[in-house]
A and B are shown apart, each in its own frame.
Chain A
Amino acid sequence: MSQAKVPAWVNIALIPMLNIALAFIVSGLVILAIGENPIEAAGYLIFGAFGYDEGIGYTLYYATNLIFTGLAVSVAFKGGLFNIGGEGQAYIGGLGVGLICLSLDHTMPFYVIAPLAVIGSAIFGAAWAYIPAYLQARRGSHIVITTIMFNFIASSLMVYLIVNWLKEDGRMAPNSRTFEENAWLPYLHELLSPLGIDIGDSPLNLAFIWALLCCVFVWGLIWHTRWGYQLRTLGTNPTAARYAGIDTAKVTIWAMLISGGLAGFVGLNEIMGVNHNLLLNFTAGYGFAGIAVALMGRNHPIGIILAATLFGALYQGGAELAFEIPTITPEIVVVIQGLVILFSGALEHMLKDRIEGFFIRRAVA
């Protein structure tokens, strides 16, 4: 093999962009196949997501969930662990938030409930990730399979708890009572309007700021701590990590705990920020979408913010699109997600090898 180097921008920018472009081209073909104009559709989509204040608010509200799950997937991935259980961890994290709000909202003020809810969601999400992590690290079970199983277990557990224990008496709808207002995360438009900033009514709330802080935290943790170095070593070469004296089992478990905790924060945004009660299925696939976000964002917090915003825009724009062109359903966003996972994840070598080969040949020549 030649020692010629591929320019950094090729790997950081060019290849991911091409992969995403391919995903969008195929999505465009799908829209074409159902007899609609993809350019027109993209127009509605972009306007719906960014064209007005409220739309932007919704885009960022969806992005909040995706930042949490994207970070969750990427922290585990840095250690070579594929955490497919973000969905279950987010669900159980929401349970933690719900339990704290339900038990404290009559007696405690907001500034006591909020930090406890943050801690609660992290602990519940982490706890749900702990068992697969422990089994992987100590007993050699495969984390992908166990986290899948735990998604199903989480979903059954939540149905049981909500229907049998937390449901409001005398109501048919499977959700808990609505929290008192002191257990609601404030909306950003409410926080900003006294300052004279008007951003339009949207579910965007304080959890968004927390998501951004989490990005900073993850960035510092992975690239600027000894533990982060161990994690990255484990991810690149587990054998070398073991020989270097890294306690790989411990790093594995901690990586999954942090991953699960981050996924748990989805509950903060959904339960405390928007729904204000504990309900079924609020995770709505964000755990899986996090995989696409992490792949697209190249497992870097900045990339994840960008990818989450893009996907948030697709969710919000997709809803707008479905309204404008009824033959296109919001599920087109799921298709695009899948294609992004396919092209930037599973098929990453397809373009990468060729493009790198091209640059290496050019460098040699």
Chain B
Amino acid sequence: MFETLILMLDATMRVSTPLIFAALAGLYSERAGIVDIGLEGKILGSAFAAAAAAAVFGSAWIGLCFGVLASVCLALIHGFACITHRGDHIVSGVAINTIVAGLTVTLSMYWFGMGGQTPALSGDARFLDITFPFADALESVPVIGQIYSNLLSGHNILVYLAFAMVPVTYWVVYKTRFGLRLRAVGENPHAVDTAGISVSFIRYRALIICGILCGFAGAYLSTAHNAGFLKDMSAGKGYMALAALIFGKWRPVPVLLACLLFGFLDAVAIRMQGVVIPGIGEVPVQAIEVLPYVLTVLLLAGFIGKAIGPKAIGRPYVKERA
């Protein structure tokens, strides 16, 4: 029983990692007042760029750089439409998701000719698992040994980075001058403007950070979690991250918990395949898979607490003219 739990928590960490990156990415963007439906597209774009570059250069790190670059470019397109041209944030996000879904397949066909995939990655082209010191030796120690060796040790560097990003984000958003301005721009851009600070510049910076983090999420999917890019491999993770962001009420630590909950449900769904529970019968996998979305809807409806987003979210900022 305990061993099963450890295995499931281990799986939870792996599945949650891209969600954590993407949800924190969304946090920067939405705290600055920019709605980001385009998380999905950025993850997918980065996953493709990372896998393609890793395959060509044989290095996962170079792959990561290209993934981040691709994702930041997409974030800048979003910024160009929403900030510079005051376009609709949601339409822009949908456009980015659609363009990326088509472009990744088109480009992968052109470069690799493998029906929308990239070549399988191996060796240095992937992020490999890191084994903590003495992990093997301690494995036989009950409870603590198993937690240390099987749960905490044996993940790749991006998993640890994702978890590390949570306190970093907390610090940036709540303890720095940039974070204060970021939050202010999402609540009351006029006030920020009056203080002589450029609303656009802060929003652009927020989107660049958002792009970088989504880049990590995508690179994780294709070069760490999997060994290569597959068509539509983000499979709704961006939307799930968005759900986690709302579920965590736009705050770093609750967002982390929401991501872990959603990841855990995913792990449960895989585990529950065909399992018959006495008295209930076989629980359909789909019922568990769908829980994050149902929970988010219930939360938004105010049935389980209230999700109140940044006040100025989704509204283009127009400087008042004299």
Chain A partners chain B: yes
Q: How far is the CB of A200 from chain B (nearest CB, A)?
A: 29
Q: A295: shortest Cβ distance to chain B, in Å? A: 7
Cβ of A53 < 8 Å from any Cβ of B?
A: no
Q: Which of B13-21, B146-154, B281-289 participates in binding chain A?
A: B281-289
State the CA gap A347–B301 with chains docked (Å). Answer: 32
CA of A264 to CA of B144, assembled, Å: 55
Q: A327 to chain B: which residues have CB within 8 Å?
A: 109-110, 113
Q: Given A82-B90, A141-B300, A346-B87, are A341 and B95 neighbors across the interface (CB < 8 Å)? A: yes
Complex CA gap A82/B92 in Å reads 13
Is B81 an interface position by the 8 A CB rule?
A: yes
In the bound complex, CA of A359 to CA of B204 (Å): 32
* Least Cβ–Cβ distance between B93 and chain A, in angstroms: 8
| A81 to B13 CA separation, bound complex (whole angstroms) | 37
Q: What number of A-B contacts does a CB cutoff of 8 Å give?
A: 146
The distance from the CB of B140 to the nearest CB of chain A, in whole angstroms, is 41
A268 to chain B, nearest CB (A): 25
| B286 in contact with A159 (CB, 8 Å) | yes
Nearest CB to that of B282 among chain A residues?
A164
CA distance A142 to B246 in the complex (A): 11
B215 nearest CB across to chain A (Å): 20
Tell me which residues from 91 to 133 in chain B have a Cβ below 8 Å from any Cβ of chain A. Answer: 91-92, 94-103, 105-107, 109-110, 113, 116
Interface size class of A (residues with CB under 8 A): 35 or more
Question: Is B265 located at the chain interface by the 8 A CB criterion?
Answer: no
User: What's the dominant secondary structure at chain A's contact region?
Assistant: helix
Nearest Cβ distance between residue B85 and chain A, in whole angstroms? 5
User: Is there contact, CB below 8 Å, between A346 and B95?
Assistant: yes
Determine whether the beta carbon of A141 is less than 8 Å from that of B102: no
CA distance A209 to B108 in the complex (A): 39
Asked if A150 is at the interface (CB within 8 A of a chain B CB), the reply is yes
The contact of B101 among A145, A152, A334, by CB within 8 Å, is: A334
- Evaluate contact between A347 and B289: CB separation under 8 angstroms: no
Q: Tell me if A135 and B96 are in contact (CB < 8 A).
A: no
Q: Is the interface of B mostly helix, strand, loop or mixed?
A: helix
Q: In the complex, how many residues of chain B place their beta carbon closer than 8 angstroms to a beta carbon of chain A?
A: 46
> Per a CB cutoff under 8 Å, which of B92, B101, B290, B293 touches A346?
B92
Contact status B102-A335, CB under 8 Å: yes
**Stretch from B4-12, B182-190, B195-203, B236-244 that touches the partner:** B236-244
Q: List 24 A-B contacts (CB under 8 A).
A: A34-B106, A34-B110, A84-B90, A132-B297, A135-B297, A139-B302, A141-B301, A145-B296, A146-B297, A149-B239, A153-B290, A153-B294, A160-B286, A160-B287, A331-B105, A335-B106, A338-B97, A338-B98, A339-B95, A341-B94, A342-B96, A345-B94, A349-B85, A350-B85
* Given A149-B294, A329-B116, A338-B96, 17 new contacts (CB under 8 A): A82-B91, A84-B90, A84-B94, A141-B297, A145-B242, A149-B243, A152-B293, A328-B106, A334-B105, A336-B102, A337-B98, A337-B102, A338-B98, A345-B87, A346-B85, A347-B81, A349-B86
Q: Give the interface of B toward A (CB within 8 A).
A: 37, 77, 80-82, 85-88, 90-92, 94-103, 105-107, 109-110, 113, 116, 236, 239, 242-243, 246, 284, 286-287, 289-290, 293-294, 296-297, 300-302
Q: Top 4 nearest A-B pairs by Cβ distance?
A: A334-B102, A338-B99, A338-B98, A346-B92
Interface residues of A (CB under 8 A from B): 30, 34-35, 82, 84, 131-132, 135, 139-142, 144-146, 148-150, 152-153, 156-157, 159-160, 164, 288, 291-292, 295, 327-329, 331-339, 341-342, 345-350
